Amino acid sequence: MLLTPRVRLKSALLASAVSVCLVAASAPADPLGVGDRLFPYLGNPGYDVASYDLSFTYSGVNSEPLRAVTTIDARTTAALDRINLDFAHGKVDSVQVDGQPAAFAGAGDDLVVTPRSSLPRGSRVRITVRHTSDPVSADDRDGGWVRTADGLAMANQADAAHLVFPCNDHPSDKAMFTVRVTAPNDYTAVAGGLPEGVERVGAATTWTYRTRHPMATELAQVSIGRSTVVHRKGPRALPLRDVVPTKDRELLEPWLKKTPEQISWMETKVGPYPFETYGLLMADASTGFELETQTLSLFEKDLFTEPGYPKWYVESIMVHELSHQWFGDSVSPRSWSDLWLNEGHATWYEALYAQEQAGRTLEARMKVAYSASDRWRAAGGPPALPKAPHPGQKISIFRPNVYDGAALVLYALRQEIGRPAFERLERVWVHDHRDSTASTADFERLAERISGRDLSGFFKAWLYAEKTPAMPGHPDWKPTAPAARAEHKAEPKTAPRPGRTAPRASE
Ligand SMILES: [Zn+2]
């Protein structure tokens, strides 16, 4: 994710439990989690999802709940009397487990399913939930569906996929996805992955898409709108497709056509593009952020049409989201405390691209980051030990400490181990952990193996310490003392919501 300037440091999403229509189960149900330090109730223990089949029916009115069927194929990793799913913003009509009706109840953000008989460890299970998916946010909780001028898009990061569909909503459980959208004939639906077919029956059309690589729930994308899909080829004939409001197609083409070159540029840095397709989804909406949804990154259209942004800046943001396809999507975080690996790398390639294409030197940007780093650590925690999100503002884990503050850690690492070892580390990292999840400890181990050095002291100081260590090779770089005003700016007590903020101003 990248918060664009007007809300880059201040943004809010979430927090609330939302009503689920309930059928009482025999005993009280408890919400469970996988023990994420930042989001304790996210995800669920005892099973591993292999695939999701999501089916949405859209009425043509983006304030009305969609009808939906979510089918989850999973394998149990423990004996289970109940299966907890994350789901918190829709009405559940029925649940079946392996074709048999099952009892269900809400508990916090969980939908707790009780099958007729308990499930032994290591068994395959199919859970089918008929439900609604409500695109209108609860008062105190954004995220999930994004209502656009002509339909809907999706923005689930970090913990909002379960506002859209029942799931195991944690990036440590990636799965394959099939998405079907039925919409009135004058709409176009696009989801992550490749198209599997389009079927028109009367006044409605059903569009089907399927991923070719596993994906975290937070990275799912579904666009429904009066859209045009623009096709072109990337490196080695990689199919690219952008999804744009039909009326803006010509206006956006000068930006869209930059993608093949940007993919080639990233490939020279870290190796082959990791997925089956890529493209930009240009949403006519005021989100205040861009998001690296897998194979189809979400952008606010205004980023490209407002004349105030320098060309190099817009291009570097395109590269930020593109680089997430390697860092964050193909290699996704084991826990949300590993977020610095996503955002630090995306910021790194964003800055490197701006250096190579527009002469905005990485060193100058890192020197500025160094001077602010102690402030960022005080406000948001050290890069790999971020502070918990504020209640009601869970997006506030997306703080400067995990953007430029984390890119600064990568810069220090490159200074420490040298450019050849650093560049090799980047390539091996995305190769060895592709289609998987990885942790900060995995990154540390690989850096040590490739450099042949004990880096435990280096990482302890740079990733976990309250104060920023001295920058190798730049003894003259100094942190500036925390200033009360700057502090307030970095961590506002009451953050405006994305899309409801004042006009963009650069910070
Ligand atoms: Zn990002």
pLDDT band (50, 70, 90) for residue 377: very high
Residue 22 has pLDDT above 90, yes or no: no
Residues 6+ apart with CB under 8 A from 195: 207, 208, 209
Q: Which amino acid appears at position 318 of this protein?
A: M
CA of 343 to the centre of ligand 1 (A): 5
CA of 115 to the centre of ligand 1 (A): 40
Mean pLDDT, rounded, for 10-25: 34
Helix (H) or strand (E) segment spanning residue 261: helix 259-270
CA dist., res. 12 & res. 18, Å (int): 18
CA of 299 to the centre of ligand 1 (A): 12
Mean pLDDT of the chain: 90
Helix extents (H) in 306-418: 311-324, 339-358, 362-380, 404-417
Residues 6+ apart with CB under 8 A from 227: 150, 151, 187, 188, 190, 243, 244, 245, 246
CA of 405 to the centre of ligand 1 (A): 13
Strand residues in 157-287 grouped as ranges (E): 176-184, 188-191, 194-201, 204-210, 222-225, 227-233, 239-245, 280-283
CA of 344 to the centre of ligand 1 (A): 8
CA of 454 to the centre of ligand 1 (A): 29
CA of 83 to the centre of ligand 1 (A): 32
* Closest by Cα among 183, 215, 209, 213 to 196: 209
Q: What angle do CA 433, 439, 443 make, to 5 degrees?
A: 70
pLDDT band (50, 70, 90) for residue 29: confident
Q: What angle do CA 192, 404, 271 make, to 5 degrees?
A: 50
Q: Is 160 helix (H, G, I), strand (E, B) or coil?
A: coil
Name the residue ranges covered by the structural domains of the chain.
333-490
pLDDT band (50, 70, 90) for residue 18: very low
Query: Kind of pairing, strands 176-184 and 47-57?
Result: parallel
Block residue for tokens 């954004």: 142
- Encoded tokens for 309: 């942004």
pLDDT digits (tens, 9 = 90+) for 140-158: 787 799 999 999 999 999 9
CA of 326 to the centre of ligand 1 (A): 12
CA dist., res. 504 & res. 507, Å (int): 9
CA of 144 to the centre of ligand 1 (A): 17
CA of 79 to the centre of ligand 1 (A): 38
pLDDT digits (tens, 9 = 90+) for 172-199: 999 999 999 999 999 999 999 999 999 9
CA of 370 to the centre of ligand 1 (A): 20
Q: Which amino acid appears at position 33 of this protein?
A: G
CA of 270 to the centre of ligand 1 (A): 17
CA of 200 to the centre of ligand 1 (A): 37
CA of 292 to the centre of ligand 1 (A): 7
CA of 401 to the centre of ligand 1 (A): 12
Radius of gyration of the chain (CA): 22
CA of 328 to the centre of ligand 1 (A): 8
CATH for 333-490 is 1.10.390.10
Contact 192, 211 (CB under 8 A): yes
pLDDT band (50, 70, 90) for residue 236: very high
Q: Torsion-angle region of residue 322: left (phi > 0), alpha (psi -120 to 50) or beta?
A: alpha
CA of 59 to the centre of ligand 1 (A): 32
Q: What share of the chain is helix, strand, coil (3-state, %, to 5)?
A: 30, 30, 40
Mean pLDDT, rounded, for 68-97: 97
Nearest 5°: phi and psi at 421?
A: -65, -40
* Closest by Cα among 193, 462, 430 to 323: 430
CA of 317 to the centre of ligand 1 (A): 9
pLDDT digits (tens, 9 = 90+) for 444-499: 999 999 999 999 999 999 999 999 999 999 999 999 876 544 433 333 333 322 32
How many CB atoms are located within 10 Å of the residue 348 CB?
Answer: 26
CA of 350 to the centre of ligand 1 (A): 9
Ion ligand 1 neighbours (CB, 5 A) are 1-2, 343, 346
- Encoded tokens for 141: 């909780």
Contact 370, 473 (CB under 8 A): no
CA of 1 to the centre of ligand 1 (A): 4
Distance linking the first and last C-alpha atoms of the chain: 18
What pLDDT does 490 receive?
A: 36
CA separation (Å) from 404 to 111, 132, 287, 369, 433?
A: 38, 39, 21, 6, 23
CA of 491 to the centre of ligand 1 (A): 18
CA dist., res. 484 & res. 86, Å (int): 39
CA of 457 to the centre of ligand 1 (A): 27
What pLDDT does 506 receive?
A: 31
CA of 108 to the centre of ligand 1 (A): 29
CA separation (Å) from 448 to 287, 419, 430, 456, 494?
A: 40, 14, 16, 8, 41
CA of 291 to the centre of ligand 1 (A): 7
CA of 29 to the centre of ligand 1 (A): 36
CA of 402 to the centre of ligand 1 (A): 9
Peptide bond into 237 cis (omega under 30): no
User: Of residues 377 and 30, which shows the higher confidence score?
Assistant: 377
CA of 119 to the centre of ligand 1 (A): 39
CA of 400 to the centre of ligand 1 (A): 11
CA dist., res. 338 & res. 23, Å (int): 37
CA of 25 to the centre of ligand 1 (A): 41
Handedness of CA 344, 347, 352, 355 (dihedral sign): negative
CA of 268 to the centre of ligand 1 (A): 20
pTM: 0.91
Q: What is the distance of C-alpha 349 from the center of its chain? A: 17
